[in-house]
């Protein structure tokens, strides 16, 4: 495993926040386009700290991801109108406050200048005192006004309830497959649709069990559930075509908790969700390509936005 931690400071706080979303979207796309997926091959965290400190943390699990990561600090960001406005929608949905700007051209120019600032690796950093940073008004900023409440979008990866009851021993494997899909959707949908990934968690009902991912959609922005469904299909198909499900299953079938924990399922979390305490031999028994295929054939992705609800059966797209 390799870990990269980068920082960059910009006193226009909300512009820095916007840039953080743009940069993370670009990293997610970089890995996704070559068949690397979050939670399986890498994990990305982006944050904006007080004072305009941009913080990027990247954990790399696969050799291919480690090689590609060398491009991160010199990564070209696509600063077209669509990518910038989608990132702005993410920020608006996250903050739920009224924003204003000095116009798109000035905002884009400020982003270009910020992008040209060099990243500082955490190993080369002494310290940054946020209280010593002189904040200044920027080209993208919070303005006065009432809170702007975002709308909720749910994207759930669900295993059929009857099948789940009849195959309880496979629940730990299903959840790992569901988390792979969920993490990838959380990484890709924001950049494509301007939604903010807000929360996720295990859910169980009569209809089925699975992972519910909650996104926030900025108030007043146009949103098309059919276009999002198309993206969901594309993501699931890409994971399958690039052997993401197979690679995950192979890893689970050969893991050892004694050798390390960075790429092994969380024992306590798995137990809390399934009430099954999994050991190394248990993973070797259930993590097979046959079981993986059977689980996916009984899995669907449900999308809910307001009164609109639609479902994709993975057996129809894989």
Examine the pLDDT at 263 and tell me if it is beyond 80: no
Cα gap 108→33, rounded to integer Å? 25
Return the H-helix or E-strand segment holding 243. none
Segment among 30-39, 217-226, 232-241, 287-296 with least mean pLDDT: 217-226
User: In whole numbers, what is the pLDDT of the chain averaged over residues?
Assistant: 95
Examine the pLDDT at 260 and tell me if it is beyond 80: no
Question: b vs e for 7-45, b when ≥16 Cβ sit within 10 Å of the residue's Cβ?
Answer: bbbbebbbbbbbbbbbbbbbbbbbbbeebbbbbbbbbbe
Q: For residue 220, what pLDDT band results from cuts at 50, 70 and 90?
A: confident
116-152 tens-digit pLDDT: 999 999 999 999 999 898 888 789 988 888 999 999 9
Looking at residue 52, what is its pLDDT? 94
Looking at residue 1, what is its pLDDT? 87
What average pLDDT does range 153-161 have in this prediction? 97
Structure tokens at 312: 């994709």
Q: Which of 13, 1, 81, 2 is nearest to 50 (CA)?
A: 13
Looking at residue 262, what is its pLDDT? 67
Examine the pLDDT at 169 and tell me if it is beyond 80: yes
Percent pLDDT > 70 in the chain is 99
Looking at residue 261, what is its pLDDT? 61
């Amino acid at each position: 495993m390799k870990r990269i931690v980068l920082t960059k400071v910009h006193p226009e706080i909300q512009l820095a926040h916007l840039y953080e979303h743009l940069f993370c979207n670009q990293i997610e796309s970089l890995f996704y386009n070559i068949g690397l997926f979050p939670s399986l091959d890498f994990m990305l965290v982006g944050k904006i700290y007080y004072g305009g400190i941009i913080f990027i943390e990247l954990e790399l699990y696969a050799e291919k991801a480690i090689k590609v990561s060398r491009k991160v600090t010199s990564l070209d960001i696509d600063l077209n109108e669509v990518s910038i406005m989608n990132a702005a929608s993410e920020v608006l949905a996250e903050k739920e406050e009224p924003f204003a700007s000095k116009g798109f051209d000035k905002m884009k120019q400020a982003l270009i200048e910020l992008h040209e600032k060099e990243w500082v690796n955490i190993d080369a950093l002494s310290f940054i005192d946020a209280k010593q940073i002189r904040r200044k008004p920027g080209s993208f900023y919070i303005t006065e006004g009432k809170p702007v409440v975002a709308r909720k979008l749910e994207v759930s990866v669900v295993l059929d309830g009857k099948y789940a009851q009849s195959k309880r021993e496979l629940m730990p494997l299903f959840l790992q497959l569901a988390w792979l899909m969920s993490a990838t959707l959380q990484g890709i949908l924001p950049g494509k649709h301007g939604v903010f990934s807000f929360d996720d968690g295990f859910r169980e009902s009569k209809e089925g069990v699975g992972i519910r991912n909650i996104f926030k959609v900025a108030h007043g922005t146009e949103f098309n559930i059919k276009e999002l469904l198309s993206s969901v299909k594309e993501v699931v198909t890409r994971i399958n075509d690039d052997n993401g499900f197979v690679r995950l299953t192979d890893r689970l079938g050969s893991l050892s908790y004694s050798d390390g924990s960075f790429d092994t399922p969380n024992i306590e979390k798995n137990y809390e969700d399934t009430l099954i305490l999994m050991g190394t031999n248990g993973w070797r028994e259930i993590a097979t390509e046959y079981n993986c295929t059977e689980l996916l054939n009984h899995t669907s992705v449900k999308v809910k936005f307001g009164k609109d609800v639609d479902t994709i059966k993975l057996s129809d797209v894989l």
